[in-house]
Amino acid sequence: MTTPPTERTPLQGLWLPLVTPFRDGALDETSLRRLCRHYAIQPIDGLILAATTGEGLTLDEAETERLVAIAAAELEGGLPVYLGLSGSDTAKLVKQLERTAHLPVAGYLVACPYYTRPSQAGLERHFAALAAHSVKPLLIYNIPYRTGVNMTNETMLRLAALPAIAGVKDCCADPQQSFDLIRARPPGFAVLTGEDTQFYSALAQGADGGIMASAHVETQGFARVCAAALDGDQPAALAEWRGLADLTRLLFAEPSPAPIKHWLWRTGLIDSPEVRLPMTEVSEALAQRIDAEIARRSLAAAAQAA
C-alpha cells in the first residue's frame, strides 16, 4: 500500500500537453529531445506527457517509460511533468500507478473512465481508490464528449476534499458548470481549462490556467493571455487573445493532434507529422490553410522586427 500525498502543491498557469513525435512507426527520440529543449525555455508552467494530445493510448509501456526518461533528462527538473493515464478498469489503473511510481513525474492526469459510463457513485469510488494508491497528486480529466460520462460538480467537490486530488482539467463543455465549480472549489484545488477556444473566457471567470494543445504554437502569446488574466488585467488579456482565437480554431479544424503536428513539422520542430491509427494526418485542404497561416505569421513577425 502506497502513501498518498498529504497536502497539495497548487497548480496554475499555462501547461502544455506535449505531442509525441513518431517516425516510421517508432518513437522519434531526436524530435522529442528537440521539442523538450524548445519548450523548456518557453514561458510555460508544466508539461503533460502521453495524454490525448500525446496519443497516449497508442503507446506501449516501454515507449511511455522512454518518453518520460527523455523528457526528464532534457528538462533537468526545470518544469513539472504530469503523466497521462486512462482506462475503465479501476484495478488496472491502480496497478499502473504502482508500476509508474518510480518514474520522474510530479503527478498524473487521469481521465474519467470511458465507454462504461459509470454512475456518479462509481466515478467517486474510482478516483478515491486511485487517490488512495498514488504517491503523487492526481488531476482529474473531465471530458464527457470523449468518455461518455460527465462528472458533476457535487462529485468533483467531494473528491476535491482528498489531498491527493490536485484539481481538474475541465472540458465539461458547460460554461455554467465550469463557473459554478470555480466558485465552489476549496482552496488549493486547481481548475485548469482544457478547451482551447474557451481559454480567455475560462480565465476571465476565474480558472487557474489551462492545459492548451494550441500553445505548441505562439506559446508566448498564450502565456501573456494567462499572465494578464491571472494578474487581473482583463483588457490586456483580451487584447492578446484577439490574435490567438482564430489560431485555436484552425488547430482543431480536424482531429488533434494532426494539425498541430503538421505545424510543428513545417516549422522544423519535429521531423515528421506522423500520427498513429486510428488518427490520420491532416487533409490536403487543411494542410494548405495551415501552411498559409504559418507564412502569414512569419511575414508579420519579420515586419514587426524590422
CA atoms within 13 A on the CB side of 14: 27
The residue annotated as part of the active site, out of 82, 141, 200, 261, is: 141
Q: How far is CA 91 from the centre of its chain?
A: 24
3-state secondary structure of 68: helix
- Using alpha carbons only, give the angle 181, 186, 188 rounded to the nearest 5 degrees: 110
Residue type, 150: N
- Cβ-based neighbours of 288, under 8 Å, separated by 6 or more: none
Query: Judging by beta carbons within 10 Å of its beta carbon (0-12, 13-18, 19+), is residue 252 exposed, middle or buried?
Result: middle
Distance CA 67, CA 100 (A): 12
- Cβ-based neighbours of 121, under 8 Å, separated by 6 or more: none
- B/e letters for 155-173, b = 16+ CB within 10 Å, e = fewer, are bbeebbebebbbbbbbbbe
The residue annotated as part of the active site, out of 82, 108, 136, 169, is: 169
261 catalytically annotated: no
Distance CA 129, CA 94 (A): 8
Residue type, 203: L
115 catalytically annotated: no
Report CA-CA distances (Å) from 13 to 55, 162, 191, 212. Answer: 23, 22, 10, 10
- Catalytic residue positions, numbered: 141, 169
